[in-house]
Amino acid sequence: MLQAAGPLLVALLLGFVIVDSRRTGESEPDRAATTTVAATDSQTPSTAAASDLSLVDFSALRPGDTVPEWNTSQGNFRIVSRDGRPALELSHEPMVEGRLVWNRIFKSHGLIRSRMQGERTRRSAPRFALGVAGSTATYWFRAIPSEKALQFVAQEQTLQSVPWTWDEEKPIWLELRVLPAPETNGASGDAGSILEGRVWSEGETRPESPTLVHPIAHDLGFARALVAAAPYALKPVYLDHLEVESP
């Protein structure tokens, strides 16, 4: 019986191998497509290979949502619909400076950028700011409409100030860059950092040259990226762009 069944058993086994190889061959294109898509996604945005980029997609948020990768340090923030678009609203109740902290590490150098909008009253106006909190000090780049000034501040001491006029009819863009200071005389090690601040109104071109530049003596090391606003006019402040880039 076994000898008689031998040819039949061989034929059945060969048929199974052929069918299985066809199935395996059909699945290969699917695997390749998945790998290609994954590789493409991992390279978006294009700067991801060179730096750690975080850009909040506000269009995907709905009222009641929380902002991914950002934590509230103080103030009352919530996602609302404003002019048909999602925005992060900072309430004037309680009347404190609202602060957001990026929940990833800002690695010594990089960029922080935000777009905000607020209203003034007869005597008061909001204040807008970006900051980096290092191990020894916190540095702020502030736009202060009530003082008509842009300032770099550390430990509430003004480091540098220039005149500036706020156009309250348009959202304001703020950008803070922290760059490594160039080494001098061939020296190596901690050469410090350079703070660059830029500000412009919605619809204007981002300035090529920074509005404010200030050196700091030491490298920040591992720091925290901060975004802040103070609703001094007792009216809400709105944010709809939060971006951080760090090596």
Pinpoint the alpha helices (H) of 110-158.
Answer: none
pTM for the full predicted model: 0.77
Q: What is the 3-state secondary structure (H, E, C) of 153-196?
A: EECCEEEEEEECCCCCCCCEEEEEEEEECCCCCCCCCCCCEEEE
Amino acid at 39: A
Does 172 score more than 80 pLDDT? yes
- What's the CATH fold of domain 47-246? Jelly Rolls (2.60.120)
Comparing C-alpha atoms, which of 104, 95, 185, 200 is closest to residue 143?
200
Radius of gyration of the chain (CA): 27
Interatomic CA distance for residues 91 and 80, integer angstroms: 11
Contact 156, 139 (CB under 8 A): no
Helix and strand numbers (H, E) in the chain are 1, 16
Specify whether the backbone of 32 is left (phi greater than 0), alpha (psi in -120 to 50) or beta: alpha
pLDDT at 16: 40
Q: Per-residue pLDDT tens for 192-218?
A: 999 999 999 999 999 999 999 999 988
Q: Per-residue pLDDT tens for 140-163?
A: 999 999 999 999 999 999 999 999
Does 32 score more than 60 pLDDT? no
For 110, the token pair is: 């990089």
First to last CA, the chain: 73
User: What is the rounded average pLDDT for all residues in the chain?
Assistant: 82
Does 40 score more than 60 pLDDT? no
